[in-house]
Structure 1
């Protein structure tokens, strides 16, 4: 097994997970500048078009090539419009564990997109990639993300005190997991 995830497209009915590209930059900028996304993710503030172009054309791809994980644009398969993002990070290739993170654009919320994307990515990681564990850490106060984790089939394991960081400082996070036995 290589210590780098393959570049893949993962179709999933009403959504497709695919690598980020330059065409995603404007929608990515708008979504990452959204107050809800900014509240729960320590992204640059303000989130500029320059930062978005850099993410879509360089950083997301460099992180995959470095072995850290893999990042996907969640898109509408018919229109190609960016609906959100999902990615694996902090990948431990020796232990076969990776952490998932996601956000959904304001224009796509309330449709179950993040839960579906998490199920698809989790299944791909644990079956095709042969991993043993997928983790998700959600801020204690981020109720929508915590509900998404449960909808995606992840299991709540407990609270990790002072284990996260937001613009407002250190926070407690709830740890969720998915293992091959859960599929």
Structure 2
């Protein structure tokens, strides 16, 4: 783990603020966090575009999933943020900086938003905050963002945050709800040297 990866509080990564959002660590021991994680990962819209290796069907599975993410954060391999309203503390969604490679300084980002928070540019704002931290706080050079072909909303979010479309990856992710069929992925990326986008 690099020194820049640990916040002053000793936590694996800091709390982030910006664009009217707070990004906080998920807590696998907090029932509200477990419930929000389960709702997000079992939401029909999430399942339409994502097929996790292990489906989350109950609180025990959600808790284990969050514990695995906390372990990855402690090892410097990923950072998972609970996207919240800074005033109420309500969970709005999730954004992760995943598969962090500290050698070639690249990582992949992914996000989802709870149904009641959609239509408020939550994912766009969260991506802008997390992306800036990944470049400035982690010293990464490149962030990649992949989404299933046809996921136009995710495409717009990526482009709004300065993640340029770089091409289509053939058969690069599972079809919805299947692990024996594949679909194409749009690859977007942003470099630390790219200009700052006008997010909002």
Q: Give the Å deviation of 1:27.
A: 1.9
Q: Is the 8 A contact 1:15 1:77 kept in 2?
A: yes
1:57-114 C-alpha deviation (Å, 9 max, x unpaired): x122111123321110001111111111000111111100000010111111111111
1:15 aligns with 2:25: no
Deviates most, 46-55 or 159-168:
46-55
Give the corresponding residue for 2:187. 175
Give the corresponding residue for 2:138. 129
SS at match of 2:145: strand
Q: Is the 8 A contact 1:5 1:70 kept in 2?
A: no
Q: Give the Å deviation of 1:13.
A: 3.8
1:107 aligns with 2:116: yes
Q: Is the 8 A contact 1:4 1:64 kept in 2?
A: no
User: In the superposition, relative to structure 1, how do residues 3 and 31 fare at CA in structure 2: closer, same or farther (>3 Å)?
Assistant: same
Deviates most, 68-77 or 36-45:
36-45
Give the corresponding residue for 2:68. 59
Over the residues paired in the alignment, what is the CA RMSD in angstroms? 1.8
Consecutive unaligned residues of structure 2, counting only runs of 5 or more, are 7-12
SS at match of 1:181: coil
> After TM superposition, where is structure 1 displaced by more than 4 Å over at least 4 residues in a row?
none
- Distance, in Å, in 2 between the alignment partners of 1:24 and 1:78 is 17
Give the corresponding residue for 1:48. 58
- Distance, in Å, in 1 between the alignment partners of 2:102 and 2:125 is 25
Q: Give the Å deviation of 1:46.
A: 5.1
Q: Give the Å deviation of 1:3.
A: 7.8
Work out which of the residue numbers 106, 109, 122 in structure 2 matches 1:97: 106
Deviates most, 86-95 or 2-11:
2-11
Consecutive unaligned residues of structure 1, counting only runs of 5 or more, are none
Q: TM-score, normalised by structure 1?
A: 0.91
SS at match of 2:153: helix
Tell me the number of residue pairs that the alignment of Structure 1 and Structure 2 aligns. 182
- Distance, in Å, in 2 between the alignment partners of 1:25 and 1:76 is 17
Name the one with the larger helix percent: 1
1:147 aligns with 2:153: no
